[in-house]
Amino acid sequence: MASGPVEYIIVGFPGNKFNGEIAPELGKLVESGTIRILDLVFITKDADGNVGAVEFEDHDDVALFNALEGEVGGLISEEDIEYAAVELEPNSSAALLIWEDVWATPFVEAMRNSGGVLIEGSRIPHDLIELAEAELAAAG
């Protein structure tokens, strides 16, 4: 069972332009022990708006995902797939990825052992950080 923080992302590929470059980098994160993949599903929406889902081991480019072997799968539900597909344009695809931040496990365990309770957490979008950094640089 996961003991580090668990996160998810939905990565869209407009026009189904998936080149596979993400797979080796994801594999490096797994191999280094930084993260542990809990589930990964590819979602497609055809030109008529019909939605389909493919588990990573059934994907046409499965060779790209060999580094993700292990106890992966079963967490993503049909409701999750429907949620991810809502924002997809026709003739597009997405990857829905759930992972455990293994690197943070010691911190999380220390927090729990000290009686700490996570009240809130969120990921700040990259474009907002870039904007804030640019504003700081201009002011300095």
Q: Which amino acid is at 89?
A: E
Asked if residue 36 lies in contact with residue 97, where contact means CB atoms within 8 angstroms, the answer is: no
The ranges assigned to domains in the chain are 6-105
In tens digits, the chain (140 residues) has pLDDT values of 668 899 999 999 998 888 878 888 988 999 999 999 999 999 999 999 999 998 766 555 545 555 555 556 789 999 999 999 998 999 999 999 999 999 999 999 999 999 999 899 888 989 999 999 999 999 97
